[in-house]
Copies of this chain bind each other. A is one copy, B any other.
Amino acid sequence: MSRTAARRDALRATAAERGLDAVLVTNLLNVRYLTGFTGSNGALLVRTDGGDLFGTDGRYTTQAGTQVPDVELLVDRTTVPALAGEAVRRGTGRLGYESHDLTVDGLRALERVLADAAAGSTVAELVSVRRAVEAQRAVKDDEEIESLRRACAVADRALAELAAEGALRPGRTELQVGRELDARMLALGAEAPSFETIVAAGANSAIPHHRPDTTELRAGDFLKLDFGATVDGYHSDMTRTLVLGHAADWQREIYDLVAASQAAGRAALAVGADVVAVDSAARDVIVAAGHGEHFTHGLGHGVGLEIHEAPGIGQLGAGSLAAGMAVTVEPGVYLPGHGGVRIEDTLIVTDDEPELLTLTSKELLVL
Contacts and interface: CB of A to CB of B under 8 A. Distances in A.
Interface stretch (A15-23, A82-90, A95-103, A287-295): A95-103
A59 interface: yes
A289 to B, nearest CB: 23
B105 A104 contact: no
Interface stretch (A44-52, A149-157, A182-190, A266-274): A182-190
Interface in A225-264: none
A161 to B, nearest CB: 14
Contact of A99 (B101, B104, B296): B104
Interface string A189-212: 001110010000000000111010
Contact of A103 (B104, B187, B193): B104
Given A179-B186, A192-B192, A62 B103 contact: no
A207 B62 contact: yes
B100 A100 contact: no
B208 A59 contact: yes
B105 A100 contact: yes
A101 B209 CA distance: 26
A183 B106 CA distance: 37
- In this complex, the member of A58, A104, A183, A211 whose beta carbon has the largest number of chain B beta carbons within 10 angstroms is A104
Given A38-B211, A58-B296, 13 more contacts: A59-B209, A59-B297, A63-B209, A100-B104, A100-B105, A102-B104, A103-B103, A104-B107, A105-B128, A179-B187, A183-B186, A192-B192, A192-B193
The 9 closest A-B pairs by CB, nearest first: A99-B104, A183-B183, A100-B105, A99-B105, A104-B107, A179-B186, A183-B186, A102-B104, A182-B186
